[in-house]
Structures are given as C-alpha cells and as structure tokens.
Structure 1
C-alpha cells in the first residue's frame, strides 16, 4: 500500500483527495494536515510514502515544508512530495523543484491524473502537469540557464536519443516502450543511462535539456 499524507488548509479539499485515494486498492491516507508545520509533525509520526502538499498554507508554506521534509532524515528515505496548486505560476514550480519536490499538479487535475502521479512518485519517478513542464522549459530557455553541457549529447547512443526525444514529448516509460516496441524495463535502463551521461537529476531536467539543445520531440 502507498501511504499518503494530505496537506491543505481547506478541509473540503482534503476530504475530496481522501475520497479519491481511499477508493483505490493500493493507496491509503495515513494523515491530514492544515498547514506546513502540522504536515511536518504528522509526517514524522505517520511516515508517509507520498505527501500531497498545497503551496499556500498559513505559517510554513508548502515549499518550505517540502524543503524540511526532504532534509529531515538524511539517513532514511524521506517522503516524495507532489505539490498541488491552483496557481500555474513559475515561482512555485522553480521553488518547489529546488526544494526537492518530485511532482507538480494543478488542483483541477483529473482523478486519474492524481492517482497516476502518486503511483509514479512512489515508484521513484518525477511527474509534472504538461502546463507546468512547458513553463519550466520556457523559463530555462528564456533565461539562458543551462542544465547540462550540450556536448554531452554526443555520448548518447541512437536508441538513447530516441528515448530522450520521447521523454521530451512527455511520454511515460510505458508509452515509450509501446512506441519503440521494447520492454518497460529496457526503457528504464535507457532513462537511467541518459540521466547519468548528461548529468541530469530527473526527467524534468531531461525535458529542459532536450528543448535547450534542439532535440525534436519523437515522432
């Protein structure tokens, strides 16, 4: 079972998320919090695998709570954090990324998108709403920020470049496997090698790298 903590200052929002999550066979809500400080306290007691973290909460906001959660137990696996917000704004995305968030979703995401995101980050993957990813890319390209040396792309094999193109298109490992007619395990291996060769932290940075360096989306 994936253990989930819901942190949001609106009781109705927490109730809605709880209903969705508890309605599955592989997830259980182990706690709720109405602000960032409470989220830290409950997380320390309940030890969730995933935290759904609102951005704007009284006292300690979701970004600072995420930073503290990710740094609290360096010798253990801290919970993965999905930041949920109604505000599709750059400042939250960048701050959350640097705080160690594993995913970003807008609160109006479909139930299926929420469940897929929880399962993905629980499995060690990063997720982001398409609109959030686009804003990330636009920001990095507009500011001239670089996530890796462009010359490192030469280290990729032809198949790894194919996988990078499909990552840039926003496809999941399962979708990439279907497109390239290979196993999902093989895709995971390619993704790990791509990140290692390019010196990238996660899939979001891989998308940024692809756009920065003119790698076209997969066909």
Structure 2
C-alpha cells in the first residue's frame, strides 16, 4: 500500500513538473493594417481615417491549455478626413485632413484549439486608442487635442507552428469605438458616432 501511494505521489510530481516546463507564455511582433469606413454624423459631418500599415506587439500568458490572457500595443500614423458643410469644411469633395499617430493599449481573453500544427483562436477584450494630432503640413487645422477613446476589441485568427518555439500568426482584429474629433473648436469634427476599425495582422510569435 505504501509503495502504491509512493508511486502515485511520484507520478503526480512528475506530471506537475512536466506541466510547469510547458511553454505558457509567448510574445509576438506583427505588421498590421487599418481600414476605416466613412462615419456620417448629424448635420452632414463626416470622418474617415486613411488606410495605413503599423506595428503590433502582443504578450500572451496561458491560464489553461485553451485559455490565455493577452496584452497588446500597436502604433501607426495615418490621416483623418473630415467634412462639415455647416462650416464650409470639406465641400466640393475637398476634405480637411488631420495627420495623427494612432496607438492602441488593450487587454483580451483568448480561446484557442489545437489541431496538430494548426491553432485557431478567438479573442475579445477592451482597451483604448490614443489619437494624437501631428502639427505638420499634413494637418490643416491648429489647436487640436489628443483623443483617448475607449472601446471593445474582438477578432480571431490562426497560428501555424513552425517549431516548438515559433509560430506564424495571422488574424483579423476589430476595434469598436467612437470616431475621434480631436477636440476641434466648435465641435466641427464631432460625429457622435461609433465605428469599427478593421485591423488585420500577420506576424511571428516566440513561445517560452
């Protein structure tokens, strides 16, 4: 009986050590694009961000074999086109441009499955996107302010294992948030509408 108990304890310890040695963390670096549809607000106010390519960095910690927590940071630069016929802005198909930096800080829950080398996953979370105006020749309005817009992150993708330590990761990410107005005086850029930023990404992840 004692031998059986000792053997059972040994097996439990061996399994625990093996689980502790499994890769439970990963970091990834990806290129991602942003695609934005035109937002129509009251009074004919319109807003649309131009398409651009940026950098996305992520850290994941596996809580269970199928569940993980993720932190994200992304960065890119693009321009936002505005029109407001009430203030004679953007009329005759000539919009006003605001050149801006876009930074994302978000956290998400990730659910994944394993099919040999293929690992599809879904994610949902919350975060904020910082829209910071750049006062250069690409910005046609002065005295603008940074917007920090809180929203919801959702998406899914597929990771393909190329080695025990590395995988290629492709995903679609969507971010639901209020369209930025950069605090323009008189609310000339305010749409009071929500939009979905489409942000597909592809990159490589390292597991450790």
TM-score by length of 1: 0.19
The answer to which structure, 1 or 2, has the higher relative contact order (CA under 8 A, 6+ apart) is 2
Q: Judging by fraction of residues, say which structure has more strand.
A: 2
Q: TM-score, normalised by structure 2?
A: 0.20
Greater Rg over alpha carbons, structure: 2
